[in-house]
Amino acid sequence: MDIRNTIQKLVDACKDHEKNSRITKGVSRYLSRACEHKIQAMLRLVDPQSRPNMTVLNERLRDIDLISLNIKANGYRLARLLAETLPPATHDGPQDIQPGSKLCTQEDIASDWSRYWSSELKLPVVFHRKLWEYTYLLQALHASGNIAPGRVGLGFGCGLEPIASYLASREVKATITDLPPEHQRVAGWASSNEYVETLEKAHVADLVDREQFIRMVSHRHVDMNAIPDDLSGFDFCWSVCALEHLGSIQQGLDFIEASLRTLRPGGTAVHTTEFNINPEGPTIDNWMTVLFQRKHIEDLVQKLESQGHTVAPLDFSAGSQPMDQFIDIPPWNDDLLGPVMGQLDMRRNANHLKLSVDGFVVTCFAITITKGGG
């Protein structure tokens, strides 16, 4: 039977049975799968006999991934060269600078304050947004007087981050948390090394010895959407790129507000998250990773300030230096191109400050809040 006739009959069936949702949905699923299989066949690099695929669609699109690799390779090389040619730091100790609530930028990572915390964490200075999250967090905690013996902090969604180990080395106590192991979101986080089930796995031996770590750090399972009431009285709390995974933008905002209940009056909350730099238009919500926009942060700040809390000044500048303008793009670990990236040694130096997430330009945003009533 001719495929056109088959499709037409299916379309007619939809019209004849439009009141029968089960039939309509079944036909729609069939058509969707048929189209998907056809398009996949047209995009394969070779045909079933391993000859070049000469379809018009494939000839137009087959080099797109390689174009992406060229863009990525040059961006990564730029990041490496910029880091290698940084001038010597002019200040070799911590600085009393409040960085404000802001976006990740090249200027920050190149700054003396960020480079100091990189050295404290025993990490090389690279232009990667994860390093910025760590150094921003430590700078905000230092500026608020919380990196001092006797202080007590609470971390949310900590995974394998080095923050608790560093704080322990400075005689700062911390309770680190992650989801209960039976939670449905754990599987995805565990596969990406963003989940820690036990305290032992969170220990970074290069930063603190095991005995001191065990003495200063505790671990418990906590759902960030339902913070237990007994977690209270802390000097500070933090989360690093975790609150965008809570299910929706509203749940992420609610978490930030709820985290303040864990603090003593005058305590400090520092949170980083994924941020869509386009202030207008759509964004991702109600998904496994949501993307906040300027309006969400501004509305939150207005609410928090009305409750008597203080938010570090907002700065939504996305930067104008070379690494600020490099937007990393997929593929990240594609079945076909992943091995190619490995052969080209691109994974080892995969540094970026911005990237494409489902077509949106994304970077990290950090917010610092001082709880009212102090």
Domain end call among 43, 61, 79: 61
Same domain? For 50 and 117 the reply is: no
Ramachandran quadrant class, 24 (left: phi over 0; alpha: psi -120 to 50; beta: rest): alpha
Same domain? For 116 and 46 the reply is: no
Same domain? For 36 and 154 the reply is: no
Same domain? For 37 and 165 the reply is: no
| Total structural domains within the chain | 2
pLDDT for the residue numbered 38: 66
Same domain? For 50 and 75 the reply is: no
**Cα gap 257→246, rounded to integer Å:** 14
Determine the straight-line distance between the first and last CA of the chain, rounded to whole angstroms: 78
Same domain? For 53 and 74 the reply is: no
**Cα gap 98→113, rounded to integer Å:** 10
Same domain? For 199 and 220 the reply is: yes
Same domain? For 94 and 236 the reply is: yes
**Cα gap 191→68, rounded to integer Å:** 25
Same domain? For 15 and 92 the reply is: no
pLDDT for the residue numbered 1: 43
pLDDT in tens, the chain (374 residues): 455 555 556 556 655 555 555 555 666 676 677 677 666 766 676 778 777 777 766 677 778 888 888 999 899 999 999 999 999 988 888 999 999 999 999 999 999 999 999 999 999 999 999 999 999 999 999 999 999 999 999 999 998 999 999 999 999 999 999 988 776 555 455 555 566 778 888 999 999 999 999 999 999 999 999 999 999 999 999 999 999 999 999 999 999 999 999 999 999 999 999 999 999 999 999 999 999 999 999 999 999 999 999 999 999 999 999 999 999 998 776 655 777 777 777 767 789 999 999 999 999 999 999 999 86
pLDDT for the residue numbered 32: 73
Distances (CA, A) of 48 to 41, 52, 337: 9, 10, 20
Same domain? For 190 and 265 the reply is: yes
3-state secondary structure of 317: coil
Type of residue at 102: K
Residues of the domain holding 100: 65-370
Same domain? For 27 and 100 the reply is: no
Q: What letters, b where the CB count within 10 A reaches 16 and e where it falls short, cover 8-37?
A: eeeeeebeeeeeeeeeeeebeeeeeeeeee
Domain end call among 36, 61, 86: 61
**Cα gap 250→236, rounded to integer Å:** 23
Domain end call among 13, 38, 61: 61
pLDDT for the residue numbered 36: 72
CATH number of the domain enclosing 310: 3.40.50.150
Same domain? For 179 and 37 the reply is: no
**Cα gap 307→196, rounded to integer Å:** 34
Q: What 8-state DSSP symbol labels residue 200?
A: G
pTM equals 0.86
